[in-house]
């Protein structure tokens, strides 16, 4: 039996979003070096970085599933021209959070579909998140409470948990924030007759 739809990701959140939407699919992580690809994108916009990585993931996984529609996705977080990465230490997480204090940053969530190593569709959705004014004492307490969870998120926060306390305003849909813009994804799947429309 051929697989009609494949998610090029090992992210439990992205898998959950597709499962909750009632989609039948397989998932497989792409074997790409994201930092190496990013290094070749100097001067690229945060949108371009996210889209390039999403396409690379979709194309890589599509090699293993002939004829299948493969969904690749990636998300960047940006404040002006600065692009953030997942923190490697608590000190880095603290610095990132304090740099966002009182400012609005953007999540750039890209999706791309590939079939037989060819990109057939691409899209970038945005969410703008305003962090309230934070003081160092609160950030230290927050980081000690959430612990190692901060390493799993580029912004050192998870909105579905205590991270919601960091914000004063959020503009954008929940799916885009989690890194998989489901509404445009489902619309394109219906258009391609990949799911029941």
Whether 74 sits among the annotated catalytic residues: the reply is: yes
Residues 74, 116, 140, 173: which is the catalytic one? 74
Whole-angstrom distance, CA of residue 71 vs CA of residue 189? 10
Whole-angstrom distance, CA of residue 166 vs CA of residue 176? 18
**CB-CB contact of 49 with 106 (8 Å):** no
Structure tokens, 31: 């074997």
Q: Which of 120, 92, 108, 115 is nearest to 181 (CA)?
A: 108
* Sign of the dihedral defined by the CA atoms of residues 11, 12, 16, 17, in that order: negative
Q: In terms of DSSP bridges, do strands 5-7 and 26-27 run parallel, antiparallel, or are they unpaired?
A: parallel
State the first-to-last Cα distance of the chain, in angstroms, to the nearest integer: 23
Whole-angstrom distance, CA of residue 32 vs CA of residue 53? 9
Active site residues: 74
């Amino acid at each position: 039996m051929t697989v009609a739809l494949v998610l090029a990701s090992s992210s439990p959140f992205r898998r959950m979003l597709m499962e909750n939407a009632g989609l039948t699919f397989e998932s497989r992580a792409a074997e790409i070096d994201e930092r190496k690809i990013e290094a070749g994108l100097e001067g690229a916009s945060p949108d371009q970085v996210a889209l390039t990585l999403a396409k690379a993931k979709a194309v890589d996984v599509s090699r293993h599933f002939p004829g299948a529609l493969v969904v690749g996705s990636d998300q960047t977080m940006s404040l002006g021209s600065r692009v953030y990465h997942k923190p490697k230490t608590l000190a880095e997480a603290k610095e990132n959070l304090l740099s966002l204090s009182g400012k609005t940053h953007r999540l750039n969530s890209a999706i791309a579909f590939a079939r037989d190593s060819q990109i057939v569709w691409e899209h970038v959705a945005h969410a703008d998140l305003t962090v309230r004014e934070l003081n160092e004492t609160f950030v230290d307490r927050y980081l000690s409470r959430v612990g190692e969870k901060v390493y799993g998120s580029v912004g050192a926060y998870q909105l579905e948990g205590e991270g919601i306390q960091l914000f004063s305003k959020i503009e954008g849909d929940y799916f885009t924030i989690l890194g998989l813009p489901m509404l445009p994804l489902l619309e394109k799947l219906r258009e391609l007759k990949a799911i029941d429309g």
